[in-house]
A = this chain, B = another copy of it.
Amino acid sequence: MSFDEVIARSKAACEALSDEDDGLKREVLAHAGNRWSLGIVYALAVSGTLRHAELARRLDGVTQRMLTRSLRQLERDGLIVRRDHQEVPPRVDYTLTALGRGLLAGMMPLGTWVIDNATSFRSARDRFDGHDSRDKR
């Protein structure tokens, strides 16, 4: 696809992201940049249904607090479903919704682009941070 086509198709997207009812669309986009959201979605996409502790084991370095918060956010936007089995001891599991699977599919091109150009970002930063000496990252 030519870049002109990209621009034309981006028009609706970029305008919708500025007009905006309230910023909901940008908040959904922000899931992409959030620390754990994408990892959670991916883990659920692979495994189908997971409990809190199982997710914690798969996401290296996540704390209970952040896992809970991230799950709430994803649930709020309809990307995952939280099912509380009302048992003792507690038993809660999470499943990806169709919407959540859509996020993963939509993220893919951007994700692979980021990976493909990782070295470009790295060198751009090194150049930038090198120019004025202080304040690295």
The residues of B that contact A124 with a CB separation of less than 8 Å are 76-78, 99
Binds B, one of A49-57, A63-71, A85-93, A107-115: A107-115
The residues of B that contact A11 with a CB separation of less than 8 Å are 42
How long is the Cα–Cα vector from A112 to B76 in the complex, in angstroms?
A: 20
How long is the Cα–Cα vector from A110 to B11 in the complex, in angstroms?
A: 13
Q: Is A83 an interface residue (CB 8 A)?
A: no
Asked whether, in the complex, the Cβ of A13 is within 8 Å of the Cβ of B107, the reply is yes
The residues of B that contact A6 with a CB separation of less than 8 Å are 45, 101, 104-105, 108
Contact A111:B18 (CB < 8 A) given known A99-B124, A102-B117: no
Asked whether, in the complex, the Cβ of B125 is within 8 Å of the Cβ of A77, the reply is yes
| 13 pairs from A and B in contact (CB 8 Å cutoff) | A1-B105, A7-B45, A10-B104, A13-B107, A17-B39, A18-B60, A29-B38, A33-B34, A76-B129, A78-B124, A102-B117, A106-B110, A106-B112
The residues of B that contact A1 with a CB separation of less than 8 Å are 105
Nearest chain B CB to A101's CB is how many angstroms away?
A: 6
